[in-house]
Structure 1
């Protein structure tokens, strides 16, 4: 994790954040601080409000109460669904936020192609439309789109849930390498504890009812430099011996995700 030794302001701070949906409280009294360059994985039972919290942190949803302080310069977002424009090529999709920022066409193309290289998306695929791409290629394009704007913070909202195990691991490695190379911080939403410990510096656990953060655990070592055997043992220990993780696999379908 890259941190300023002079104690720079946090990259993200949530203070007393709460939210209600159709009059029903789904989040309450959430306090969370992420250091500069920190990748934090947010886990919790299904329906506890993980995605809602990420959308509030990113400014997509306004909280009903509380305050969000963003210390980063610019953020990108990657969702579970790649959300690519079906009528645009992969290259045009990656370049889309650059177009919104008013960059010249040549610069948009160059930056889109560089972002595609960073996620190992084959140049031959850049002229294809989303329907012509595999699920993994579409997700690579979505990650490239987030990286094209040169963010110093990225929100990942369960981006690999729909992928098979082997492809999910490749995508995790891609994110680990991209975060290390670009030195961005991130809030990574996931229901997969093994994914959380592979990809993050710290695992943050939400309360089962969305009433704040139940606690967090630092993951030894750095993402990308950890032994898989040690990670499996760590996850097994969390699930067997640590009360913080007792309810992370619960499901409440009545709550808003």
Structure 2
């Protein structure tokens, strides 16, 4: 069975240790999140797992055949229009041009874009629309493993919930494995099968929380109660430097 397995991973930049002795697994069909404060090494960890940074010490085993990534910054290509930005990954897979455009248009409509938007360029788009396109581009290739680097953090409440619902649908289908990072505990509770807590300076995983109820069955009451409980956990308090009143 496909999995992402990290063993004893340590990473340093110049003379500073960013991550130290990191070990965890993401199994096929799981949604796993890394939570921790800003600057704690979450993005570095994700980029190492996605093979965007060179590993220094430790082992990373990734047996998924295909993967894609969506960042907090949409990173759209300014010289390509909406449809060609979405279809960019399909071109790398050598999908015929006609099929590229068909699939790109289908997922664009699914993500709430209008046909009149298809020929627009990034400079003509709102931040929310750009993020929709970034998310669509990551999913149009139908990856087995999807990396998400805080793609919801800068969005308004409505769009954030809309894109999170897409993640919940993917989790329900169990066709896409998701590894994402966030500093939002409630977001992690809503979306994750497993939450890994990353303590900073240097980044180390100090606690794991698991949830057995499917994401689609988690109502607001469940999410609020679980979030409240986590915010009272000593490891969360220590990691986020929270003070209980």
TM-score class, shorter-chain normalisation, is: over 0.9
Q: Distance in 1 between matches of 2:101 and 2:87?
A: 7
* 1:52 aligned partner: 44
Q: CA deviation at 1:88?
A: 1.1
**Count of residue correspondences:** 242
Deviations 1:57-99 (A, max 9, x none): 0000012111110021110100000000112111000011112
Give the ranges of 4+ consecutive aligned residues of structure 1 lying more than 6 Å apart after TM superposition.
none
Within a 5 Å distance, the mapping from 1:1-257 to structure 2 comes to 8-9=1-2, 11-181=3-173, 183-240=175-232, 242-250=233-241
CA RMSD in angstroms, aligned pairs only: 1.8
Q: Distance in 2 between matches of 1:123 and 1:189?
A: 32
TM-score, scaled to structure 1: 0.88
Q: Distance in 2 between matches of 1:171 and 1:211?
A: 28
Check the 8 A contact 1:46/1:250 in 2, yes or no: no
SS of alignment partner, residue 25 of structure 1: strand
Deviations 1:172-229 (A, max 9, x none): 1122224434620111100000111111111111123334311110124111221111
SS of alignment partner, residue 53 of structure 1: helix
Q: CA deviation at 1:19?
A: 0.6
Q: Distance in 1 between matches of 2:123 and 2:170?
A: 26
Q: CA deviation at 1:40?
A: 0.5
Q: Gaps (5+ residues) in structure 1? A: 1-7, 252-257
SS of alignment partner, residue 16 of structure 1: strand
Q: Distance in 2 between matches of 1:144 and 1:196?
A: 21
Q: Distance in 2 between matches of 1:231 and 1:184?
A: 23
Q: Distance in 1 between matches of 2:64 and 2:87?
A: 22
